[in-house]
Structures are given as structure tokens and as C-alpha cells.
Structure 1
Amino acid sequence: MRTTVLASLIALALPSLAAAQVFDYAHQSAWQSVHDKAQSPIDIRRADAVAGDPQEAQDIVVRHTEAALEVVDNEHAVEVEAHGPDAMIRGRHFELAQFHFHATSEHTIDGESFPLEGHFVFKAKDGRLAVVGVMYREGESNRLAGKVLEALGDARHGEIEREDIAVMLPRDKSYHHYLGSLTTPPLTENVEWYVLDTPVTLSAKQIAGFEKRYSHNNRAVQPLNGRPLVHIAQH
């Protein structure tokens, strides 16, 4: 399965394990991008967001959420490979490639950061990427988060026979949307971002478990540079 994981990462233009050493979060200014006007993450200022067009498809619907999972410490994040889940995002079909975690959160909401942020990376057949961002805060424990940490233990690889990834996502999928980039090199732009409004809770112990692996693997917020920020309230 390792070969499959690496192939998926390359196909997504995400960094390979061999390139992990370039992710020096203490010297992010040295990261190079081909373009630099539409970068991620951003500070989501809710007062600046405009309402979406009600005549267009708006919903995010994640489907087939139960799957076998492979957990990998890829030397810059805890990542979970999931094969099977997919989503209809604004009327278009995407397949989930993986989700991973950043501590503290990369996006901020009106200047506020969260202890952890999950990025659910979806890919369309034409190669387009859509990332659903989920904020995690301290509260009740989360079953799947606990299993992810248990599967890794002290190793860099583990497996979960079958689990429902929906527990890592809020039921209310209202979101802020903008066009941005990957948040790690090569910082590729034209990535669709959907940052969900409602946080999901993890226990203090679970948050500490992720922070023990990576406590500062978050890119600094980038300027919006006039990009539209759209808010969609899903019912």
C-alpha cells in the first residue's frame, strides 16, 4: 500500500516523503511558489464575505463515508489515506484522496486560530483539487481521532480496518469559499477551498497527541489580494 500512497501524493502535486525536509516551518519565507497572489491559508473575515448565488449549486455532500484507512506520518503531518469516500461539491463530483492535520490551525476566523485544522483533499477526474477545511477545538473526544493516534502509536504507519470518516466532519456544512493554493510546497494555486463554519471537538488528550507529532506545522496566513470570499449557509 505504500506504493499506492506515494503515487497518490505525486498525482495530487503534493510533496513526496523524500521532499519533506523542505517544509521548514521556521523559515517559510524561503518557500518558493510559481505564483504568489492567490495563496493559502487566509484570515477569514466574516464581515468581508458575500453571499453565494442562490441560483447555483452550493451544497457539500460527502458520501460513502465508511472506508478502510491507512495512517501515515509523512514527516510533516499526520495523514490518513481513504479510498472510497467521495463528495458532491457545488454539483460536481470529487473523490477523497486523503485528509491530514495542522497544529495550530492554518486558517484563522476573524483573527482567531484553533488548536487543530483538518484538510480533506478531494480530487476531480480532471485533476482539479478541492480542500474542505475543518476546525477542531477542545471538548468531547472523537472516536476516529483516537483510532488514528492509536494506529500510529510510536511508528510512522498504521491501518484502521474500517471506520466512518463522517465523525471528523460537522453535520452543518455551511462554509466560506475562496480560490487559493496548497499550503505546503510546491504551493500550487487554483485550489478550491471550503472552510467549514462549525468546529468539531476533540479531547484535550487527542489534541495533545497530534501536537506531540507536529506542534507548529501551520503556514502563516497570506494576503487575500482582492479575491472573492463567499459564504454559503447550508440547511
Structure 2
Amino acid sequence: MKSTMYFFCGKALHATLLSTIMLAGTGSAAMAESTHFDYAHQAEWNQVHGDRQSPIALDVNKATPDLDDDADDSIRISGRTSDAVVVDNTNTIQVNVLPGNFATIRGRRFQLQQFHFHTPSEHVVNGKRYPLELHLVYKAKNGRLAVIGVLFQEGAVNPAFDAIMRRVIRAGRAEPMREFDISQLLPANLSYFHYLGSLTTPPLSQNVEWHVLPQPITLSSAQLDDFHRYYTANSRALQPRNDREVLYHQETKP
């Protein structure tokens, strides 16, 4: 793993804290210490064999309604995190976090590992591909990964996105964020599509639980241009659904 330097207001940060944050990242984008891979030559990626790959096209008219009234299948996310690190890992802009931020997803507890962005969106939702997609990568105590996908459309400025992009320096360097409110990157309605898929970058491992929120949030065209200064196309191509069941959970609670 290459050595990495970290700076905050011109002062070196505690190495142990930062190493822990950097090693926490895992999931559908590569970790900060991963090697670069080429999105223009995805056919050459070393794929783990399997027919449950991600991303896929999602359509509410082709999904199975989640009608289990006896279970609480809502998503609940603890929004505020501290001591995060923003890094350009040569594949995406990624925010690695220390343990302590959790989500309850379909009745189970997961801990946030990292979150990152893809442009354009990897999932196509109801026939539409969006300019940006956020992946919040969570891990259960038994090692199971769950990813929450959030879609962005052009519109009003998103201050939380600005807070991240201000800390991007260049590949191989990172900038800490003392505090961040993840809820500012989430839509008001947490309805979701749910299916079993894979990581969307090598090694493309399967058995990842996907929860893609169809209600988009906004960022401005200038913010999208800012991201495109680093990455203009870091999305995996759509994969076959292959008869997988896709559930659609309609959230009706306030």
C-alpha cells in the first residue's frame, strides 16, 4: 500500500486515527488503497463468476411490492458522523468514516464503512439514468454488506456535497472532516428498491444487499461540473437481472 500524507489546517493529524479511517473503507467502490482500474475497458475486469451482478435497471412496474405488514422494513439512518476523511482514491471521491455511524435496514443493524459517488448513475430507475449516484456502504457484524444508493438530479445547490468537494486535494492525499451530517445527502422519502447483487468494481463480489432510493435529491450544474473535474465516467455498465426478485418498499411513515 502506498504511503499517504494527511493535512488539516496545515497541521499533521494523528496517524493512528487516520489509518483506521482509511482502512475502514470497503464496498462497491474500491478502498482508498486499491489499485486503479479502467472504466473504459470493463470487459477486462477480473470478475467473480456469478449471475447476480450490479448495477441493474429498476422499474416500479416490474418490481414485487413489499407487502409484509408484520415486519418493519423501513430504513433508519443515523445522520451525523465525525472524524471522516475525504479522499480521491483514483476511482472515485470517497469519504471513509470511523466506527459509530449505524443504520437499521429491514430490521438489522449495519455500520457505515464509507460513502462515494459515481457519474453517471450506475442504476437506471424507472427508465432514467441520473447524473450522479451516491453509495453508502454498510457492514453487518457478520460481514454482510448492504449499500444504500441515492440519486442526484440537477437543481438546487446541495451544501453537504460542497463540504465534501472542498476537501478533495488530489489522488493519494486526503482531508479530514471533523463533522458531517449524512441526512443532508438523503431524500425526505426513504422508499427503496431492494435486490441481491454485487460490488460494482473489482472484485465484483456478490451477496451484496442493495437498497436504491428512487426519490432523487438535487445538486447544481456547477457542483456536477466540480465533480467532473475529477471523474466524468466512473460507472459500471448495466448487468442482466437474470430473474432476480426486486422488491419495492413504499415508505409511508413521516
Scaled to the shorter chain, the TM-score interval is over 0.9
Match of 1:142 in 2: 158
Whether 2:50 is the aligned partner of 1:33: answer: no
Shift of residue 18, structure 1, vs aligned partner: 5.1
Q: Which consecutive residues of structure 2, in runs of 5 or more, have no partner in the other structure?
A: 1-16
Count matched residues.
Answer: 233
1:187 and 2:201 are equivalent in the alignment:
no
Paired letter, 2:54: S
Q: Which secondary structure state, in structure 2, belongs to the residue aligned with residue 20 of structure 1?
A: coil
Q: Are the counterparts in 2 of residues 13 and 186 from structure 1 also a CA contact under 8 Å? A: no
Partner of 1:77: 92
Structure 1 residues 232 and 16, CA gap change in structure 2 (3 angstroms): closer
Tell me the equivalent position of 1:62: 77
1:81-100 equivalence runs, <5 A: 81-83=96-98, 84-100=100-116
Residues 1:13 and 1:224: Cα distance change in structure 2 (over 3 Å): closer
The answer to whether structure 1 residue 219 and structure 2 residue 229 are counterparts is no
Cα displacement string for residues 59-91 of structure 1 (whole angstroms, at most 9, x for unaligned residues): 000015242321010000000112332111011
How far does residue 55 in structure 1 lie from its aligned partner after superposition? 2.4
Equivalent-residue separation in structure 2 for 1:119 and 1:194 (angstroms): 10
Following the alignment from structure 2 to structure 1, what is the Cα–Cα distance between the partners of residues 118 and 154?
Answer: 15
Query: TM-score, length-normalised on structure 2?
Result: 0.86
Alpha carbon RMSD of aligned pairs, Å?
A: 1.8
Structure 1 residue runs of 4+, over 6 Å off? none
> How far did residue 13 of structure 1 move?
8.8
Residue 120 of structure 2: aligned partner: 104
Deviations 1:133-162, CA, capped at 9 Å, x for gaps = 000011111111001111114573112221
For 1:75 and 1:3, the matched residues in 2 are separated by 18
Change (3 A) 1:196 1:212: same
- The yes-or-no answer on 1:152 pairing with 2:168 is yes
Q: 138, 141, 145: which is aligned to 1:125?
A: 141
Percent identity for Structure 1 against Structure 2: 41
> Is 1:48 paired with 2:62?
yes
Q: Does 1:203 align with 2:217?
A: no
Q: 1:3 Cα deviation (Å)?
A: 2.3
**What stretches of structure 1 of length at least 5 have no aligned partner?**
none
Letter in 1 for 2:40: A
2:178 aligned residue: 161
